[in-house]
Amino acid sequence: MSLAYGRTTRAIPGPSMIPDRVLRAMHREAPNIYEGELIEMTATIAQDLKRVARTEGKVAMYIGNGHAAWEASLANTIASGEKVLVLATGRFGLGWADIARGLGIEVEVMEFGGRAAADPDRLEARLRADTGREIKAVMTVQTDTASSVNNHIAALGAAIRAVGHPALYMVDCIASLACEDFRMDEWGVDVMVAASQKGLMTPPGMGFTFAGPRAVAAREALTRVSPYFDWKPRHNPALYYQHFCGTAPTHHLYGLREALDMIAEEGLDNVIARHRILARTVWAAAEVWAEVGQIALNIADRADRSVAVTTLRAGPGDPARLRRWAEDEAGVTLGIGLPLDASLQHGGDLFRIAHMGHLNPPMIMGTLGVVDAGFKALDIAHGGGALRVASETLAEAMAAPADWAISAE
């Protein structure tokens, strides 16, 4: 008998769960786009986005998804014919690389295999060998949403600086902003891209680029930038419509304003600590499931795991059966497996549990309970007692808040 009744749960890595507060903020008539509240609100949104990214740099907002932000980041910094180095740890670095190729940029991929984080030593060695300084940018993701790798952005940035290489450091935080610790200025990141529908808890439809001084200078050095993606007018709009090169995404702005208020009320450090605790809870359950049968965490090393999404391996066909059961019988949508290479095929032996954005203990414990019940209902071999261990992990983590304090790092 199906119990898929009432409120459904999207445990997928974007769009994430949208808070009722955000939905309510968007439920309004079309606002005045010439004067008043919307105009003033847009400036506060830009300020608060920079706060979340921990940067004094410039932010440009686009009507578009993460792919639009990918394209914008490259269109403003790298000329056709120039070369970039992409660190691949799953699918998403490769997706950004595809956009670069489409813009006529030469792409070199450094492959790390989708089961572990990018190695700063390999990056450092490659940059040392680039004596002609042909590499104009190093591009990586913080959370690779396909593999659930967490790349160590500070360490990779340190490797670039150790060589004294002038390449721009460009980081995709689409799945990790407002989930994982990220400090654009402190870590030497020149360009960061983000989107509205993951940690920022707002419907898909807005993409963001953040640019430090070196990236702003790179834009100035280009002779031509496609007008829609040009971030220059968006950085310094003389007229309101220049924020968005046309009509503003009015309702998204109201939603995003509310989401940023929620992040500020909770405190960014607490938001990150909450993600870390809930991720530990998911890992605790998954590590027990993995003791029996073919279930496994895609990333073995905890230090290399994203706090926003967890990719699991299972026997052939099992992820599809589990996802179907969770959706139809329990109202929980689990993430599909994505390929961890350049193919666009579904990763048939993978599935994902997202734990990003608007999420609390009953929501994540509910999802873990449904996955656990699904294994049993479908006779998928798994270690028993995962929920008990998850609840112990949760209780212990919540009792020791100092262990999770970001500012103490």
Ligand X SMILES: *Cc1c(COP(=O)(O)O)cnc(C)c1O
Q: Which residues bind ligand X (CB under 6 A)?
A: 13-14, 65-67, 92, 141, 143, 145, 172, 174-175, 195, 204
- Is the preceding peptide bond at 316 cis, omega within 30 degrees of 0? no
Q: What's the order of all strands across the beta sheet hosting 9-11?
A: 9-11, 332-336, 350-354, 309-313, 296-297
Shortest Cβ distance from residue 111 to ligand X (Å)? 17
Nearer to ligand X, 204 or 348 (CB): 204
Closer of 57 and 66 to ligand X (Cβ): 66
| Ordered strands of the 191-195 beta sheet | 58-63, 206-211, 191-195, 168-172, 135-141, 83-88, 106-111
Task: Find the shortest distance in angstroms from Cβ 89 to ligand X.
Answer: 10
Helix (H, G, I), strand (E, B) or coil at 22: helix
CB 216 within 8 A of CB 235: yes
Q: In sequence order, what are the beta bridge partners of 62? A: 207
The answer to whether the Cα torsion of 42, 181, 154, 390 is positive or negative is negative
259 vs 295, which CB is nearer to ligand X? Answer: 259
Residues in CB range of 270: below 8 A, 6 or more apart:
none
The closest residue (CB) to ligand X is 66
Nearer to ligand X, 16 or 77 (CB): 16
Which of residues 44 and 226 has its CB atom nearest to ligand X in the complex? 226
CB of 205 or CB of 374, closer to ligand X: 205
Residue 160 CB, nearest distance to ligand X (Å)?
Answer: 20
Which C-beta is closer to ligand X: that of 179 or that of 218? 179
Instruction: State in angstroms the smallest separation of the CB of 354 from ligand X.
Output: 10
When the beta carbons of 145 and 202 are compared against ligand X, the nearer one is 145
Specify the residue for token string 């998804």.
65
149 Rama class: left (phi>0) / alpha (psi -120 to 50) / beta: beta
Provide the token pair at 143.
């959370």
To ligand X, the closest distance from the beta carbon of 141 in angstroms equals 5
CA distances from 336 to 198, 310, 327 (A): 16, 11, 12
Please tell me the distance from the alpha carbon of residue 386 to that of residue 286, in angstroms, as a whole number: 7
**Cβ 142 to ligand X shortest distance, Å:** 8
Which 3 state secondary structure label does DSSP give 139? strand
How near is the Cβ of 175 to ligand X at its closest, in Å? 3
CB of 255 vs ligand X, minimal distance in Å:
15
